[in-house]
Amino acid sequence: MTESSTLQALPDRLELSAPASEEMLDLVHVLLEHLWQQHEEVPVAERMRVEMAVIEILANVIEHAFEVDAGRPAADERGDGRRFTITLGVTDAEVLIDLADNGEPAAIDLSRVTMPDEDAESGRGLALALASLTDLSFHSADGRNHWSMRCDLS
Amino acid sequence: MTEFHVDTTASGIGVVRPEGRLNMVAARQLKSVLADLVAGGTHRIVVDLADTSFIDSSGLGALIGGVKSTRQQGGDLRIARPTEAVLTVLDLTNLTKILRPRDTVDGAFDD
């Protein structure tokens, strides 16, 4: 079973589909709080790591969506608003998160991501997500960008 | 919604206390709070992180920006009382040198 299908098979998984806008970050923080209430067995250290990674990746998706849309009519007017769908679940051994968006295909090579120098004011997002998780993968297919995150429970 | 409490001590040190989560939305606000302080002549700033439950890379970017702009004016920006969540991020990003956590707000500029 792949991680995605494991996640889709969890009866108590949480799912949210929403516009790719900054205001939705807080909603995802709350969604994570709800997940931890359902799964008190997840240690605090793993909760923090997952929250960091999810928010970094979602911020990346939101920024990318706006970047691509710059100079074009607002997404609402075009009727093809940028959206994301997030699915979260916990198994006996791991926290699994899927994040998909309908933005332009993103050219991201995670093997090239490194932590920038200490005086850099940006560019830490993906490096931080990678450092926080046991596994992070990305692929783009059929008009959707798809992030898959896994954090093993200690 | 993240709130920012801003104070200036008798010795002219600016104290900024963000309350809530420092994500990309709040980081922009923090950046402008810090820029306003520096523009107003406050070049020593303590960011009190006791009530900051979460920080992401944009929040870190705002703090690093503050370190650079205060140092350019001969001052500094220091952080105090970080929560466990903030300490974890500082460790993962190797920023504990440029943003060395201090135990107290009052003593942040003692060395």
* Residue A84 half-sphere exposure toward CB, CA atoms < 13 A: 29
pLDDT of residue A108: 87
Closest CA relative to residue B53, chosen from A27, A128, A48, A55 = A48
Looking at this predicted complex, what is its ipTM?
0.91
Contact B95 A118 (CB under 8 A): yes
> What domain count does chain A have?
1
Looking at domain B3-102, which of 3.30.2310.20, 3.30.750.24, 3.30.300.180, 3.40.640.10 is its CATH number?
3.30.750.24
pLDDT tens figures, A7-53 = 999 999 999 999 999 999 999 999 999 999 999 999 999 999 999 99
Å between B110 CA and nearest CA of chain A: 23
HEC states along B52-92?
EEEECHHHHHHHHHHHHHHHHCCCEEEEECCCHHHHHHHHH
At residue B9, what is the residue type? T
Q: Residue A48: enclosing H or E segment and its boundaries? A: helix A44-69
**A46–B contact, CB cutoff 8 A:** no
- Alpha-carbon Rg of chain B, whole angstroms? 12
Candidates B1, B65, B92; nearest CB to A121: B65
Once rounded to an integer, what is the mean pLDDT over residues B21-50?
A: 96
Structural domain for A66, as ranges: 3-152
Is the CA virtual torsion A130, A135, A138, A144 positive or negative?
negative
Does A63 reach chain B within 8 Å, measured CB to CB? Answer: yes
Helix (H, G, I), strand (E, B) or coil at A4: helix
Instruction: Report pLDDT digits (tens) over A91-132.
Output: 999 999 999 998 877 788 899 999 999 999 999 999 999 999
Q: Which chain B residue has the Cα nearest residue A121?
A: B61
The pLDDT tens digits for A44-58 are 999 999 999 999 999
Domain boundaries, chain B: 3-102
- Map residue A105 onto helix, strand or coil: coil
Q: How many residues does chain A have?
A: 154
- Among A27, A36, A55, most B C-beta atoms within 10 A, so best to mutate, is A55
Per residue in B9-33, pLDDT (tens digit) is 999 999 999 999 999 999 999 999 9
Is it the case that residue A73 has pLDDT exceeding 90? Answer: no
Scan residues 42-71 of B and list those with Cβ closer than 8 Å to A: 54, 56-58, 60-62, 64-65, 67-68
